[in-house]
Structure 1
Amino acid sequence: MSELIPISLIASPHEEQAWNRQQLSVPVSEPQVRFWAYEAPGVVLGCSQSGLVSAVDAAHRAGMPLAGRQAGGGAVLVGPWMLSVSVIVPVTHPFALGGALTGYRQIGEGFAAVLRDLGIDAHAVTPEQAKSAQERDAGSSLQWACYGGLSPWEVVANGKKIVGLAQVRRRTGVLVAAGLLLSRPDWPDLCRAVGKPAGDADLLALRTTSCAEELGWEPTLPEVAIGLRRHLQETIRSSTSPDSRVFSFGNRLIQNSEADELLV
C-alpha cells in the first residue's frame, strides 16, 4: 500500500497555524509530517511581533491575510512560491531530546540534500557560520524579516538563503517548521503589508534565492516533497513506506502523475 503524503493546498496561513497549534494542544503520540502549499499570499508573524502590524493594516496595505505563529523569528511571506513543512514529534523522541539545534540540523540538512539532488549547490549553515553572519548583519534593517538573516542550520544556495526554519517546544511535543522558496517571493508586497520601506524589498531580493533562480526552472511540489519525505522518514524513523506516489490534495487522493499536472 502506498504511503499517504499530505500536501494541503490552503487559501490562508491561518489554516496551517491552526493545525500546528492543534497538534501541540494534546500530547503527541507519534511523529507527523505535513506539507503546505498556498493558493495566495499571506503574512505570518513570529510570536514576538504582534506589535509590528495589525491584520487590518496588512489587509488594507497589501490585500492579504495576516497570521501569528507560536514560534519566534521574523515575518514570513507565504504564497505560491513556497513549500512549507511541519514536522511534529513526541517529547520523548530522539529528535526532540537532542535540543533545539538537533531538530534544526536534521531538517536543514535534509532540505539541503534534496536541493543538491535537484542540482542546487545548497548547504545547511553551521552555528559558527550563522554567528558570523549575525555579527556581520548586526544593526541590519531586515531584522524584522525571517529571510533577512540566518540562524543555525537554515539553508543557503550560493550564499543566499533559500530555506527558513522555526521551532516550537512544548511539554506535549516539538514542532519544527520550514519554508522552501520555490520561486522568488513578492518582497515589495511583504514590505507594503508590514509598513517597511521599499528598499528593504531590494535587500531581501539580494539576500535570498529560490529553486527557480538557481535552476532556471521551478520543480513541482511533488518532486520536492517526495525527496523531503524520504529524508524526514529516516530522521524521525517513520514506519511508513518511503516509495510513496500518492498525495493528499485538499480532500482528494491523487497519484503523483496527476499531482504533477495539478501542482505545476
Structure 2
Amino acid sequence: MHHSVVLGCAQHRLLPEVASRLPAGVAVRVRGSGGGAVLAGPGWVSAVIHLPLGHPWLEGSLVEAYRRCAEAHVAFFADLGLAVRAIPPGAAPAPDGGLDWACFGGFGPWELADTKGRKLAGFAQRRTREGAVLGVGLLLSPVAWALLCEAFARPQDEPLLRARTVSLSELNGAPIEPQDFVARWQRCLERVIGLKTDVPQPLPMQREDLT
C-alpha cells in the first residue's frame, strides 16, 4: 500500500524530521496551500479545482469560496443518502490536545462533518494571478492515523484523531467502491462549477493527494 505525508506550506521546516521518522517507502512533501498535515494513501481521495478569475466562487473572501464548495458537497452527499453538514466559521470548537498540526484535528471554515461533529473532509486554497486552486480532501474509508502520528512523534494523538473523524464508508455502513464514487463526484463538481475538475483515480483501496 502507498502512503505519503503531505505537509501544509507553513510546516515546511518540519520536513526533514518528519521524513526521518517515516518507514521506507513512505514519502513526505509540502503542498502549496496552508493547513495541517494529511496522510494520503488508502482511504483518502481528493479533488483539485482550478477556478479562473471572474468565477462566481471567487466573488468575495477566501471563506466565501469555501462556503460555496461546502454547499455543493452537502447536496451531493444528500443525493447519496448521507447526512453531512458544513461547519460555519466560529461554530467548531478549537482543537485541543495539540491537534492543530493535523488537518483533520480541527475544522477550518465550512469544512464537512457528520451529524455527530466528526470531520469528514478538509479544504485548502491557494490564490494565484490566474484565479485560485481549491483542494478538497475527504476520507473514503478509515485511514492509518497511527502512521501520521508516529511521523510527528505524537502517538498519543492517534485515538483522538480516530474518534474525531469519520469516513464515507462508515457513514454508509458499507464499503464504497472508489472508482464509481470518484466518477460521480467528478460529474457533480463539473456540473456545479461549470468547469473540468481534476479528480485523480484512486489506487486500489482508495487514495490520492491533496495538492
Query: Shorter-chain TM-score: what band?
Result: 0.7 to 0.9
How far has the Cα of 1:202 moved from its partner? 0.7
Q: What TM-score does the superposition give when structure 1 sets the normalisation length?
A: 0.69
* One-letter amino acid of the counterpart of residue 178, structure 1: V
Matched, 1:181 2:139: yes
Q: C-alpha separation between the residues in 2 aligned to 1:183 and 1:96?
A: 31
Equivalences for 1:34-183 in 2 at 5 Å? Answer: 40-54=2-16, 57-58=18-19, 60-63=21-24, 64-130=26-92, 133-134=93-94, 137=95, 139-158=96-115, 159-183=117-141
SS state at 1:176 partner: strand
2:160 aligned with 1:203, yes or no? yes
**Amino acid in the other structure paired with 1:177:** G
TM-score normalised by the chain length of structure 2: 0.84
Q: Pick from 181, 206, 213: which aligns with 2:170?
A: 213
For residue 110 of structure 2, give the secondary structure of its aligned residue in structure 1: coil
Partner of 1:244: none
* Count of equivalent residues: 202
Runs of at least 4 residues of structure 1 off by over 4 A? Answer: 247-250
Cα distance in 2 for residues equivalent to 1:80 and 1:144: 21
Q: CA RMSD in A?
A: 2.5
Unaligned 5+ segments in structure 1 are 1-38, 241-246, 251-261
Unaligned runs of 5+ in 2: 207-211
Q: Percent identity?
A: 34
Which of 158, 171, 187 lines up with 1:230 in the alignment? 187
Describe the shift of the 1:201–1:248 C-alpha distance in structure 2 as closer, same or farther (beyond 3 A). closer
Amino acid at match of 2:62: A
Distance (whole Å) between structure 1 residues aligned to residue 124 and residue 135 of structure 2: 5
- Asked whether the 8 Å contact 1:123–1:157 carries over to 2, the reply is yes
| Higher RCO by CA contacts (8 Å cutoff, separation 6 or greater) | 2
Distance in 1 between the 2:130 and 2:120 partners? Answer: 30
Structure with higher Rg: it is 1
- Paired with 2:59 and 2:177, the residues of 1 have a C-alpha distance of 34
Q: 1:146 to 1:205 in 2, by over 3 A?
A: same
How far has the Cα of 1:228 moved from its partner? Answer: 2.4
After superposition, the Cα gap between the structure-2 partners of 1:118 and 1:249, relative to the gap in structure 1 and judged at 3 Å, is closer
1:88-139 deviations in whole A, cap 9, x for unaligned? Answer: 0112222223321222122222222222222322111112423xx22xx3x5
Q: What SS does structure 1 have at the residue aligned with 2:98?
A: coil
Give the residue type in structure 1 aligned to 2:47. Answer: V
